[in-house]
Amino acid sequence: MSFTPSITTELVSGPSRSLVKSWFEKTRSVTDALIAPLSAEDQNVQSMPDASPAKWHRAHTTWFFETFILSTTERNYTPYDPQYEFLFNSYYEAIGARHPRRERGFLTRPTADDIALYRAHVSLAIGDLIDGCSEAVWGGIRPLLVLGINHEQQHQELLLMDILHAFSRNPIEPSYLNHIPLDASESSALTWTKFSGGIHQIGQDVTPDTPFAYDNEGPRHDVIVQPFNLANRTVTNREWIEFINDKGYERPEFWLADGWTCAQSEGWTAPLYWREDSPGDWSAFGLRGRHPVYLDMPVCHVSHYEADAFASWAGKHLPTETQWEIAALDKPIEGNLLPYGAYRPSVSTPTLEVEQLFGDVWEHTRSPYTPYPGFKAASGAVGEYNGKFMSNQMVLRGGSCVTPGSHLRKTYRNFFYSHQRWMFAGVRLAEDA
């Protein structure tokens, strides 16, 4: 493995050892807490190739620290189990062969208990390393630790997405959380805010003031935009039902050609996890189990194809990621996010301003996930983190109710394929001004 620790996470002067260690420990403990409601069987199931077992997430995030930090420091580190390198490598070709993604659910051994021991072992070793390493080593591993922490936070969200999907495929429909009474708020009226055109800057370079950003968020660069209007909030379930009732899923004129083909072959008639219990009576499945579709809440679990069709039907379009980032520029990163969030989208409170940009639901954009001008992936295995996925996927912005709050940035670029629906994704509309 040729390994270059510097590119994406270079810090001139970064956070202290104690600060990084506290982030590390906090992140590890959040993962453990997310596992608490799950049985050993729950942690082992893989309900589709896109998803992974919870146990695998726990092991893979640990493998990341072991492979990229413990195994690369000057000490003669002995891997905890040489087979784990093969089992828990996700997609790093430079690291070597790996277990086929779609067979992760076959790994009944190591057991959940084995993985708990593995986690503890690596957590302790990382703690010791942070405390005891030389300054030279510290300078090399600090950015990788921060990367590993952010990596584990990403997998916390994936773990929740994946367990929801798995539970949805069980006719018993288990609940991940106990039911909590719903806030009966009313959503805001839909209003539009105009943004002027011209030259803006988007993206994030790593600077002394920026403890961390992914390589795909930079370089920061100029863009030209034309004036546009942005909706003050995301689309609600009420509005989505209007789309359904107007035969939005049956009229090809609203759909991208690939989207129409996909919707037909998959038999889509509503968002993922929705069910029409009787005509016009919709329920949805979530981390709290099955519940009515609350009309004022943001629509969630819709694909890019559906989001685009909805926007066409509404006579609008999806925002570009540039438009979204311009709107977010002067907003604080606040919202319904993990770990203090409700694990489900929340109703926006009435306002005329652009709000709800962070948390609740990831917002589909019309921007393909491509490199920013001047982007160069790191060499070595870490360079595979983002760059090689810049093909056929679309950017989503703003985080969701299952995204750790400390993991987000205004420049954060999430990405999924246009047909995927199991992420907590919704829709904000835009229009040319």
Point out which span in 110-118, 120-128, 289-297, 406-414 binds a second copy (CB under 8 A): 110-118
- We find the least distance from the C-beta atom of residue 186 to a second copy, in angstroms, to be 34
Closest Cα to residue 253, out of 197, 312, 325? 312
* Most distant CA pair in the chain, distance: 67
Tokens of 390: 């810049």
259 binds a second copy (CB under 8 A): yes
User: Reduced to 3 states, what is the DSSP secondary structure of residue 387?
Assistant: helix
102 binds a second copy (CB under 8 A): no
Q: Which of 10, 74, 103, 276 binds a second copy (CB under 8 A)?
A: 103
Taking residue 221's Cβ as centre, other Cβ atoms within 10 Å add up to 14
Q: What mask of x and - would describe binding to a second copy in positions 134 to 153, judged by CB under 8 A?
A: --------------------
Closest Cα to residue 392, out of 252, 225, 248, 262? 262
H or E stretch at 231: strand 228-231
Q: Which of 71, 73, 389, 409 binds a second copy (CB under 8 A)?
A: 389
Q: What mask of x and - would describe binding to a second copy in positions 277 to 316, judged by CB under 8 A?
A: ----------------------------x--x--------
- Is residue 319 within 8 Å of residue 365, measured between CB atoms? yes
Distance CA 328, CA 357 (A): 7
- Is residue 184 within 8 Å of residue 338, measured between CB atoms? no
112 binds a second copy (CB under 8 A): yes
Q: Tokens 């034309």 belong to which residue?
A: 226
Q: Which of 83, 134, 207, 349 binds a second copy (CB under 8 A)?
A: 83
Which CB atom, from 129 or from 307, has the smaller least distance to a second copy? Answer: 307
Distance CA 21, CA 39 (A): 29
Tokens of 68: 């990229």
Which CB atom, from 47 or from 336, has the smaller least distance to a second copy? Answer: 47
Q: What mask of x and - would describe binding to a second copy in positions 188 to 227, judged by CB under 8 A?
A: -----------x---------------------xxxxxx-
Q: Which of 44, 234, 236, 346 binds a second copy (CB under 8 A)?
A: 44
Q: Which of 7, 137, 333, 390 binds a second copy (CB under 8 A)?
A: 390
Q: Is the peptide bond between 219 and the residue preceding it cis, with omega within 30 degrees of 0? A: yes
Q: What mask of x and - would describe binding to a second copy in positions 407 to 426, judged by CB under 8 A?
A: -----------x--------
91 binds a second copy (CB under 8 A): yes
User: Reduced to 3 states, what is the DSSP secondary structure of residue 198?
Assistant: strand
Which CB atom, from 128 or from 222, has the smaller least distance to a second copy? Answer: 222
39 binds a second copy (CB under 8 A): yes
Which CB atom, from 308 or from 360, has the smaller least distance to a second copy? Answer: 308
Point out which span in 33-41, 72-80, 127-135, 396-404 binds a second copy (CB under 8 A): 33-41
Which CB atom, from 139 or from 387, has the smaller least distance to a second copy? Answer: 387
Which CB atom, from 16 or from 108, has the smaller least distance to a second copy? Answer: 108
Query: Hey, what long-range contacts does 254-259 have (CB within 8 A, 24 or more apart)?
Result: 254/309, 254/310, 254/312, 254/313, 255/305, 255/308, 255/309, 255/312, 256/305, 256/308, 256/309, 256/418, 258/305, 258/418, 259/303, 259/304, 259/305, 259/306, 259/308, 259/309, 259/418, 259/419
Q: Which of 74, 183, 246, 258 binds a second copy (CB under 8 A)?
A: 258
Which CB atom, from 142 or from 304, has the smaller least distance to a second copy? Answer: 304
Point out which span in 144-152, 162-170, 179-187, 396-404 binds a second copy (CB under 8 A): 162-170
CA–CA distances in Å: residue 149 to residues 75, 160, 216, 375: 22, 17, 17, 23
Q: Whole-angstrom distance between the N-terminal and C-terminal Cα of the chain?
A: 51
- We find the least distance from the C-beta atom of residue 258 to a second copy, in angstroms, to be 5
Count of residues engaged in binding a second copy, rule: CB under 8 A = 62
260 binds a second copy (CB under 8 A): yes
264 binds a second copy (CB under 8 A): no
Distance CA 399, CA 143 (A): 23
H or E stretch at 115: helix 112-132
Site residues, a second copy (CB under 8 A): 39-45, 47, 55, 83, 86-87, 91, 93-94, 99, 103, 105-112, 166, 169-172, 174, 199, 221-226, 252-253, 255-260, 305, 308, 366-368, 370-371, 373-374, 388-392, 418, 432
